[in-house]
Amino acid sequence: MEPDLERWDGWRPEEVARRLARVQAPWYVAAGWAIELFLGGQRREHEDIEIAVPRDRFDEVAGALAGLELYVIVGPGLAEPLESAREKLASTHQTWVREPNTGVWRLDVFREPSDGDTWICRRDESTRLPYSHVIERTNDGIPYGRPEIILLFKAKHSHLEKNKLDFADTLPRLDADRRAWLAAALARVHPGHEWLDALAQERIVSRRPGRERR
C-alpha cells in the first residue's frame, strides 16, 4: 500500500509512555519530540512522533500495541502489513502504527541494531553506547534519546528548517562532554559537516571567563 501521509496525527509523548508503560525493552522517544523533552517544552508543531527500540526486542512494543495496525515501511512511499513483511524487518527500520477505526497514523517505531544492553548507531556501527547512556528521562519518567544522539541523526537533513531550529536551540544547552561526543560522531558519519564549525565555536565561547550557561 501507499500510506496516506495526510492521515498522520501522532500521539503526544505522554500517550506513548502510557501505552508502553509495561514494556521492559529500552525504548525512547526519538527525533524532534526528543529535543522538545530535553529542552522542557514544545516549541513547534509535530505531525508525527517517533520512538526507537532494539530491533531484536521490537515484538515487546508490538505486543503492547494490540488492536492497532502495524505496517513495515519497505521503501519510499510503500508499506506492508507486519504479518506479511516479517522477512523484511532485518533490511528495514521503520514500522508505522495506525488506528483501524480511523485510518490515522499514530506512531513511527524505529527498529535499531543493538548488542544486548548496547545501542549501535544505525549509520556507523563503530558508534556504540550502553543504553543507560543513550536514554534520559523527563521528571515524569518519559524516556527520550540524549540530544547529541538525536542531532547526529538530524545532521543528515540539516538543510530542513526544523533541524536547523533544533540544532540552534539545543547547542547552547549542551555541556562540553555532549558537544565533544557530537563533534566526534559527526566527523565520522558526516565528515566536513557544517555543524562542526558551530560546535567548535561554541566550545571556544564557553571557555571565556564569565560565560553564563543556561
- Report the b/e string of 145-158 with b at 16+ CB within 10 A: bbbbbbbbbbbeeb
Note the pLDDT of residue 208: 47
Is the distance from CB of 49 to CB of 10 less than 8 angstroms? yes
Q: Supply the DSSP string of the chain, one letter for each residue.
A: ----GGGB-PPPHHHHHHHTTT--S--EEEHHHHHHHHHTS--S--S--EEEEEGGGHHHHHHHTTTSEEEEEEETTEEEEGGG-GGGGGG--EEEEE-TTT--EEEEEEEE-EETTEEEETTEEEEEEEHHHHEEE-TT--EEE-HHHHHHHHGGGTTSHHHHHHHHHHGGG--HHHHHHHHHHHHHHSTT-THHHHHHHHHHHHTSTT----
Interval 106-132: pLDDT, tens: 999 999 999 999 999 999 999 999 999
Note the pLDDT of residue 203: 58
Note the pLDDT of residue 204: 47
- Residue 181 CA to residue 202 CA, distance in Å, equals 14
Query: Scanning the structure block, which residue is given the C-alpha cell 547552547?
Result: 172
Low-confidence spans in the chain with pLDDT less than 70: 202-214
Note the pLDDT of residue 213: 41
Is the distance from CB of 113 to CB of 100 less than 8 angstroms? no
* Beta bridge pairs of residue 69: 98
Note the pLDDT of residue 214: 37
Q: Which domains does the chain have, with CATH numbers?
A: 1-145 (3.30.460), 147-209 (no CATH)
Is the distance from CB of 146 to CB of 119 less than 8 angstroms? no
- The structure's pTM equals 0.90
Interval 69-118: pLDDT, tens: 999 999 888 999 999 999 999 999 999 999 999 999 999 999 999 999 99
